[in-house]
Amino acid sequence: MASLDTPESAAPTPNGPIDPLAELRLALADAATEVRGTPITVELRLDRPKRSEFGDFSSNAPLLLSSGLDEQPRALAERLGAALGRRLGPDLDRYEVAGPGFVNLFLSDRFWRSALSTIATVGGDFGSRVAGAGVERLLVEFVSANPTGPITVAAARHAAYGDSLCRILAFAGHAVEREYYVNDAGGQIRRFGESLAARARGEEPPEDGYHGAYVTALAARIAGAPELGPDELADQGIELMLEAVSATLERFRVHFDRFFSERSLHADGAIERALELLSESDHVYASEGATWLRTGDLGDDKDRVLRRSTGELTYFAADVAYHADKLRRGPDRVIDVLGADHHGYVARMQAAWQALGGAPGGLELLIMQLVNLTEAGRRVAMSKREGEFVTLDELIDDIGVDAARWFLLQRSHDTTLDLDLALAREQTQENPVYYVQYAHARIAAILRRAGEERRTAAASADLAAAGAPLHPSERALVRRLLEFPYEVATSATRRAPHRLTTYALELAQGFSAFYRDCRVVGAKEEGGDEAFRIALSRSVQATLARSLDLLGVEAPEAM
C-alpha cells in the first residue's frame, strides 16, 4: 500500500496551500490531537487504499494511537472520523471505520475540484519547494570516471542517477553543486601514458596498460606523439579524453559545475596540509616507513596508508585532502556516488571524514550497483582494459538519450540492473518511456484541438465552483496528481529517482483511463465539465513534463 505521508523534511511551505494533501494530513493530525487529548508524537499517514471501497484515503492512526490507551481502536477510529469530519466540512462526503481500526475517507467533488484548482494555479511549480525547514546546501560528486578512456555504460548509470538526483534535490528546494573528481594522478595515469607512447610508435601497449582501439586513435591526434615521453603524452591524452568525456556527458544532458583535479591537490600542497591537520589531531602516525591514518579507531577494519614507504602519496591521501576541501567549503552535506567496486572504501572514507572533523552524517556515500546490457539474452561484456566495452556514445547512438536515461534510472541504485537493448530500442507501446512521452504528446494534441478560446476559458474558470458530477476516472486522476509533491519529497530524501519513473508511468496510465472515459473537447455533450477537464489535462501534462524533466527525459509536444 502506498503511503502518502510526507517525510519530515518536506513540511508544507508556510506561504500558501500548494499541497492539498499536506493540508489533509494536517487536519488529520489536528483531529488526532483533539481525540487523544494530548499532542501526538507518532507520525500519522494517509494511505492510498488498494481497493476503492476503502475510500479515497485511509488512515491507520487509530491503531497507532490506541496503544497505551484503554479505548479500542475501532471506537477511537469512530471519534477520529467525527473530529475530522468537523474540520473538513463539505470536503468530506463520509468516513467509515473498517477492519481492526482503519478510518477510511471518502472525499467530495468539492474537495477534488478545489484541489485541482490549487494545482492548476501553481502550474509548473507544483511539487516543488522553495522554502521551509530541512533545506540544505548539498555538494554531490558523481561519475568521477578515470580520464583514461571513454564513458562506459557503467559510468552512464552513475551519470543518469547523479544528474537526476541533483535535479530532484534542487526541485525539492535544496541548493545543489555537482562535481566530477578527475583521477589524473597515480599509477594508472603512468600506464596510460606508456600505452599512448607504445601506440604512437606502432607498438603494443604494456601488459598492464590500456589496449582499447581508442588509445591508438588518441595517440594519432597528438601532434608529434612518437617523439614525446609518456608523461607528456599522458597530460595531453587526459586533456583530450576529458574534453570527450565532458562532451558525451553534455550530450547525455549531464552537466557538472566543476571538474576537480586530483593532480591539483598534489600540486598546490593541499595533501600535505591535510596531513598536517590530521597530525595535529593525532590521527596520523608513522610505522614501517609509511605514514598511516588511524581509521581503525573510527569504524574501519584497519588503519590505512597515506604515504607509502617509498615516499609516494596514496590515492586515499589525495581523496582525504579532497574531502577536507569539500568540508572547508561548508556544505550542509556531502554526497558521493560510488561504484559497487568501491564499497570496501566506504568505511575508511567515513573514518577520514570524522578525523577531519566532519559532522556525523555529513558525508553520505551512495553505492551504485552494476549494469548488465542484454541483447536477445546475450550479455555484453565490459572491460576497459581489454577495450571491449559499450560506450555511452554507442548506447546513445543505439537507443537514444531518452530511452537510455529512462532505463538506467528505472531501478533502485542499490540493485544490479539489466538493460534490455531490444526493448529500449522499441519506439512503440511496449517501451515505457515512449508510453509516457506519448501520453504527453497526446495531451498536447488535445489542447491544440481545444483551441485558444477554450483554453483561455478553462484558465480563467473557477474550477473550485460546483459543477457537473465528476467521473471516477476524473477523481482518480486528480488524486494521482496530488501524490506528486510526496513523490518528489520521497525521491529526494531516499535518493531514489527511480520512483519517478514509476510515478510517471502511473500518471500516464491514469490519463489514459480518463481519456477513455471522458471526452475533454465537447465534454458538455456528455454532461461533463469542459473547463475542468481541460484544466485537468493541462495539469497532467505539466506534471508529466516535470517528472520527465527530473529524469532528464524530453517531453515532446508531438511524436
Q: Report the site for RNA in 214-253 (rule: CB under 7 A).
A: none
Cα 18 → chain centroid: 22
The yes or no reply on residue 451 touching RNA (CB under 7 A) is no
- 8 or 414, CB closer to RNA? 414
Residue that has been written with the C-alpha cell 484548482 in this structure: 117
Residues 498-517: b if buried by 16+ CB within 10 A, e if exposed:
bbbbebbbebbebbbbbbee
Q: How far is the CB of 125 from RNA (least distance, A)?
A: 25
Q: Which helix (H) or strand (E) holds 504?
A: helix 498-517
The answer to whether 74 touches 62, Cβ cutoff 8 Å, is: yes
Q: How far is the CB of 232 from RNA (least distance, A)?
A: 19
The yes or no reply on residue 472 touching RNA (CB under 7 A) is no
Could you give the residue ranges of the DSSP H alpha helices within 89-229? 109-122, 153-171, 187-200, 213-221
Q: Which one of the spans 9-17, 100-108, 219-227, 243-251 is the region binding RNA (CB under 7 A)?
A: 100-108
Among 304, 323, 405, 538, binds RNA (CB under 7 A): 304
Residues 12-51 that bind RNA (CB under 7 A): 47, 49-51
Q: Which one of the spans 149-157, 158-166, 228-236, 335-343 is the region binding RNA (CB under 7 A)?
A: 335-343
Among 11, 242, 290, 468, binds RNA (CB under 7 A): 290
Tally of helices (H runs) and strands (E runs) in the chain: 19, 16
Sorted by sequence, the CB contacts under 8 Å of residue 401 that are 6+ apart come out as 251, 252, 253, 552, 553, 554
Contacts with RNA, 119-158, as mask; x by CB under 7 A: ---------------------------x------------
The answer to whether 30 touches 516, Cβ cutoff 8 Å, is: no
The yes or no reply on residue 89 touching RNA (CB under 7 A) is no
Among 210, 353, 434, 484, binds RNA (CB under 7 A): 434
Q: How far is the CB of 448 from RNA (least distance, A)?
A: 8
- 128 or 502, CB closer to RNA? 502
Please state, in angstroms and rounded to a whole number, the distance separating the CA atoms of residues 205 and 184: 19
Residues 378-417 that bind RNA (CB under 7 A): 410-412, 414-417
The yes or no reply on residue 333 touching RNA (CB under 7 A) is no
The yes or no reply on residue 520 touching RNA (CB under 7 A) is yes
Query: Grid coordinates standing for 537?
Result: 489535462
Among 505, 531, 542, 544, binds RNA (CB under 7 A): 505
- 52 or 279, CB closer to RNA? 52
- 114 or 144, CB closer to RNA? 144
The yes or no reply on residue 98 touching RNA (CB under 7 A) is yes
- 122 or 444, CB closer to RNA? 444
* Residues forming beta bridges with residue 49, ordered by sequence position: none
Among 269, 449, 451, 465, binds RNA (CB under 7 A): 449
Q: How far is the CB of 288 from RNA (least distance, A)?
A: 3
Which of 433, 410, 436 minimizes the C-alpha distance to 496?
410
SS (H, E, C) 380-434: ECCECCCCECCEHHHHHHHHHHHHHHHHHHCCCCCCCEEEEHHHHHCCCCCCHHH
The yes or no reply on residue 516 touching RNA (CB under 7 A) is yes
Q: Angle, to 10 degrees, between the axis of helix 530-551 and the axis of helix 153-171?
A: 130
